[in-house]
Amino acid sequence: MSTAFKKSVPGREACMPGVPKRRAADMLPAALLRQKRAELPEMSELDVIRHFTNLSRKNYSVDSNFYPLGSCTMKYNPRFMEYAATLSGFSKPHPMLPQIDPMLAQGALEVLWDTERLLCEITGMRAFTLQPMAGAHGEFTGVSLIAAYHRDRGNKKTKIICPDSAHGTNPASAALAGYDVINIESRDGIVDPEALAAVLDDGVAGLMMTCPNTLGLFEKNLPQIVELLRSVDALLYYDGANMNAIMGKMRMGDVGFDVVHLNLHKTFGTPHGGGGPGSGPVGVSERLVPFLPAPRVEKCEDGVFVLKTDYPKSIGRLTPFYGNYGVVLKAYAYILRLGANGLKRASEYAVLNANYMRKLLEDVLEIPYNRTCMHEFVASAHKQAEQGVKALDIAKALLDKGYHAPTIYFPLIVRECLMFEPTETESKELLDAFISDLKNILETAEHSPDAIQNAPVTLPVSRLDETKAARNMELKEKE
């Protein structure tokens, strides 16, 4: 496909009937004018429309194809949420309006207030902040709250424990917050209380857990883990990357978690990918409420909503406004539309789909922890790798079949890892087709490994030398 610059024709332009042409020099002060003419493509309106329409068809999205991307929960995003977010009363107000005149933003503030209350009910936490604008941002916020709690108590804490089955960004978030990261190995796929006890001392600030973990397994040792952490005044952090498996089934606050971050852009239906948008609200137990970021939405006795900043122990502001409001709004609509029973059913279908896929693939791929999983499971292609076809090759071959690749080589504790998460929104027919195509790839790998090693061959860009692409990037089109 040619670039817009190659399609440019000197003198060609789009026109707007009835709108007189005005020169920039007639409208702008001289100091704001360009010193030379912008070198932009010269195209008709039809040329522009066709160019960007055809370009959009090359995008991959959950609207058009299956996304079995483990640990990402790439489920279909219902369009009623988009409609809610485009309502003029929500989309037109300036982001600063609630801070300038809360009375002119009561609807927006009420959405934030209600969403916090709903998330508290769903998770069992005492209070939430909706400021974090991504999952990693939420992780950093959560660890910062842990640090603030210990500083306030005069605790000398320098370490955060991260299990090898936790979400992959946890160690980075802990390190960014200034902690030394202690890794512990899992046993039979879940956190081992004995391994935890072996590294636990007065210098440990907390443990970051993902439940279910990245192997798709539920952490059944939570009571022992909570008791161990309490013995040294350490806090328990919940990574919400995999909450799509337990909505309505378990409340984190009820089982002992002190800090919870959620991904509204995963669990609660908001579209994500391509760098955003995201929202990573953080909930806390009673003892961490004083440290929540400010400002916070409060409801006065007369029912008026305001933004309050007078919290002496707060870790401060995280975002210039109040989080990614549009994403929060979509998640709010999603929660209200599904209700308690709907959220629970979504998790049940997610778990059902993952186990259905696991059982139908266990005869062609090794599944290291082959027992009832939650919303995702991990398989290993190490046997295929011995014949020359690696997990990467299988993932590339799936691209030729029209699917997005699953997560590969994560978690690191499984060799030649392939992590599948079908989500609750995919049908049995789609899963059957995907499983059939994957089995076909694995069968081809046995007899004609070259065909898989060279994939993809049907896409605009074929197999890249990924090492060279990373070290010698060519960001400018060759003439």
Domain residue ranges in the chain: 79-337, 339-456
SS3 127: strand
When the pLDDT of each residue in the chain is averaged and rounded to a whole number, the result is 93
Top-level CATH class of 339-456? alpha beta
Which H or E run includes 209? strand 204-210
Alpha helices in 362-459 (DSSP H): 382-386, 391-400, 428-447, 449-453
- What's the pLDDT score for residue 229? 98
Q: What is the CA radius of gyration of the chain?
A: 25
Q: Does domain 79-337 have CATH number 3.40.640.10?
A: yes
Lowest pLDDT segment from 72-86, 139-153, 439-453: 72-86
Q: Which of 237, 297, 285 is nearest to 262 (CA)?
A: 237
Peptide bond into 277 cis (omega under 30): yes
Structure token digits, residue 337: 């539309």
Range scoring the smallest mean pLDDT among 7-11, 113-117, 140-144 = 7-11
Whole-number Å distance between alpha carbons of 209 and 191: 9
**Strand, coil or helix: what is 320?**
coil
Which residues make beta-bridge pairs with 237?
208, 259
How far is residue 236 from each of residues 173, 207, 362, measured CA to CA in Å?
Answer: 15, 5, 34
- For residue 37, the one-letter residue type is R
Res. 465 pLDDT band, cuts 50 70 90: confident
* pTM tops 0.75: yes
Residue 19 has pLDDT above 60, yes or no: no
**Would you place residue 29 in the very low, low, confident or very high pLDDT band (cuts 50, 70, 90)?**
confident
SS3 content of the chain, % helix, strand, coil (to 5): 40, 10, 45
Which of 264, 268, 318, 326 lies closest to 296 in space, CA to CA? 318
Burial of 201 (0-12, 13-18, 19+ CB in 10 A): exposed
Measured distance CA(165)–CA(118) in Å, rounded: 29
Question: What's the CA gap between 276 and 272, in Å, rounded?
Answer: 5
The arithmetic mean of pLDDT across residues 227-234, rounded, is 98
